[in-house]
């Protein structure tokens, strides 16, 4: 099938907040291409979601309600999304890079006979070719790869938190279409569901984050970071090595492209070198303060303010200065 026969941009995520973020990106791409923006609302409550998706930018929403879609299972979701895409031929299909979305997207792409670019952080339309050009982090965050599609549909997954959702537009016109396609019985069966125990850390909602990296010498030194965070009313964050390699903190604290993207008013990076993957997680921070004894650390290129020095000396000095200011103003 020729590329010219594909039109429109579609978005899907089983997580509502991620779907709204994708609608913002999808609206930009659809306007660039001069086409409509479609969204997929599947499972329980899909009709209510459809109206909200229209308010956030969708021109058309395909609603799928079926017993097999009541709980996410990759097989029926793949059947329905690939079937609809094969029928309506969107030229761009954006899927949220959630845990389930990462499982779903390559299956849909394979079913459609096309490729899938994962964890894209930048997407643009390339001129008259109408080809989607994407950037994604590669080599463990040490480089960026730029890819351009040759075939349609163009399937990409987008990490949560990369794009901000647009403003809601009340009474925005749009069309809701009931999707009726055959869905096969899943080959896997869910025997039991157990809720994962959640921690008390909500780093993505924090207005101030104090993060630590490999500049810390010992796990007990995290107490220094906690004391500064407590003084500032902040959450404690960390870079990948602290959570994934050393396991000094849980993954709830991990800031970066592979885990949590944050948008605080103030982000303090203590002893963090500033690799690309970590920078992608803090790109929406309003102010970034970096503390590092290496004056050539990449983190300084992304920081609004930088302190070159030993964090074991700088942090106590910052605490003392802050306490003096608070005392003087009280």
Q: 225 and 114, same structural domain?
A: no
Helix, coil or strand: residue 183: coil
Q: When comparing pLDDT for 267 and 183, which is higher?
A: 267
Give a yes or no: residue 81 inside a domain. Answer: yes
- Write down the pLDDT at residue 90: 97
Convert the pLDDT of each residue in 98-116 to its tens digit.
889 999 999 999 999 999 9
pLDDT, residue 58, reads: 97
pLDDT higher for 273 or 189? 273
* 122 shares its domain with 239: no
- Claim to verify: residue 30 and residue 145 sit in the same structural domain: yes
β-pairing verdict for 131-138 and 143-148: antiparallel
Q: What are the structure tokens assigned to 204, written together?
A: 């993505």
Does residue 153 register a pLDDT over 70? yes
Shared domain for 119 and 78, answered yes or no, is yes
In a domain, 44, yes or no: yes
Residues 150 and 114 in one domain: yes
Domain assignment of residue 195, yes or no = no
**Domain final residue, candidates 145, 178, 211:** 178
**Residue 291 — pLDDT band, cuts 50, 70, 90?**
very high
Lowest-confidence region among 21-25, 39-43, 68-72, 73-77 = 68-72
Same-domain check for residues 160 and 302: no
| C-alpha closest to that of 88 among 21, 150, 36, 43 | 36
- Is residue 218, in this structure, part of any structural domain at all? yes
| Full residue range of the structural domain in which residue 107 is found | 3-178
* Residue ending a domain, choose from 108, 143, 178: 178
Tokens found for residue 97: 């890079």
Indicate the Cα dihedral angle 20, 21, 24, 30, nearest 10°. Answer: -90
Predicted pLDDT at 201: 76
190 assigned to some structural domain: no
Work out the average pLDDT over 92-99.
94
Q: Domains in the chain: how many in total? A: 2
Look at the alpha carbons of 38, 43, 47, 50 in this order and tell me if their dihedral is positive or negative.
negative
pLDDT band at 199 (very low <50, low <70, confident <90, very high): low
User: Residue 140 above 70 pLDDT?
Assistant: no
- CA quadruple 195, 197, 200, 203: dihedral sign: negative
**Residue 185 vs residue 41, higher pLDDT:** 41
Tokens of 108: 């849909």
Cα 223 from chain centroid (whole Å): 29
Q: Report the CATH number at residue 119.
A: 3.40.50.620
Looking at the fold, whether 115 and 168 belong to one and the same domain comes out as yes
- Domain at 263, CATH number: 3.40.50.1220
Q: In this structure, are 48 and 93 located in the same domain?
A: yes
What is the pLDDT at residue 141?
58
- Collapsing DSSP to helix, strand or coil, 305 comes out as strand
183 inside domain:
no
Residues 223 and 112 in one domain: no
Helix 74-88 to helix 99-112 angle (10° resolution) is 50
Tell whether 91 is covered by a domain: yes
Q: Which of 105, 85, 88 is nearest to 97 (CA)?
A: 105
Residue 48 has pLDDT above 90, yes or no: no
Alpha-carbon distance of 64 to 46, in angstroms, equals 7
Same domain, 209 and 295: yes
Percent of the chain whose predicted confidence (pLDDT) is above 90: 69
Residue 296, in any domain of the structure: yes
Task: Tell me how far CA of residue 24 lies from CA of 116, 123, 167, 214, 288, in angstroms.
Answer: 20, 12, 9, 36, 25
| 162 and 27 assigned to the same domain | yes
Q: Quick one: 117 and 218 in the same domain?
A: no
């Amino acid at each position: 099938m020729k590329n010219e026969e594909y039109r429109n941009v579609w978005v899907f995520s089983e997580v509502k907040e991620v779907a709204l973020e994708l609608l913002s990106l999808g609206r930009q791409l659809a306007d660039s291409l001069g086409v409509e923006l479609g969204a997929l609302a599947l499972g329980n409550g899909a009709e209510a979601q459809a109206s909200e998706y229209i308010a956030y930018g969708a021109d058309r929403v395909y609603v799928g309600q079926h017993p097999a879609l009541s709980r996410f299972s990759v097989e029926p979701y793949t059947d329905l999304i690939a079937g609809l895409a094969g029928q309506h031929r969107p030229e761009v299909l954006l899927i949220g890079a959630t845990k389930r979305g990462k499982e779903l997207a390559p299956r849909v792409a394979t079913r459609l006979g096309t490729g899938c670019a994962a964890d894209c952080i930048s997407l643009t339309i390339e001129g008259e070719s109408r080809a989607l050009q994407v950037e994604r982090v590669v080599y463990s965050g040490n480089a960026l790869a730029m890819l351009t599609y040759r075939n349609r549909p163009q399937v990409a997954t987008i990490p949560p938190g990369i794009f901000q959702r647009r403003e809601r537009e009340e009474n925005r016109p749009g069309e809701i279409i009931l999707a009726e396609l055959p869905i096969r019985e899943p080959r896997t069966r869910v025997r039991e569901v157990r809720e994962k125990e959640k921690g008390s850390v909500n780093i993505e909602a924090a207005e101030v984050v104090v993060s630590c990296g490999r500049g810390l010498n010992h796990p007990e030194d995290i107490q220094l970071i906690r004391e500064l965070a407590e003084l500032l009313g902040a959450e404690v964050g960390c870079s990948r090595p602290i959570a994934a390699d050393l396991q000094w903190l849980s993954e709830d604290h991990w800031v970066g492209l592979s885990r949590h993207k944050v948008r605080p008013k103030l982000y303090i990076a203590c002893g963090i070198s500033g690799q690309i993957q970590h920078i992608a997680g803090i790109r929406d921070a309003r102010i970034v303060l970096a503390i590092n004894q290496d004056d050539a650390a990449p983190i300084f290129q992304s920081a609004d303010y930088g302190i070159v020095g030993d964090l074991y000396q700088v942090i106590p000095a910052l605490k003392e200065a802050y306490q003096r200011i608070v005392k003087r103003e009280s």
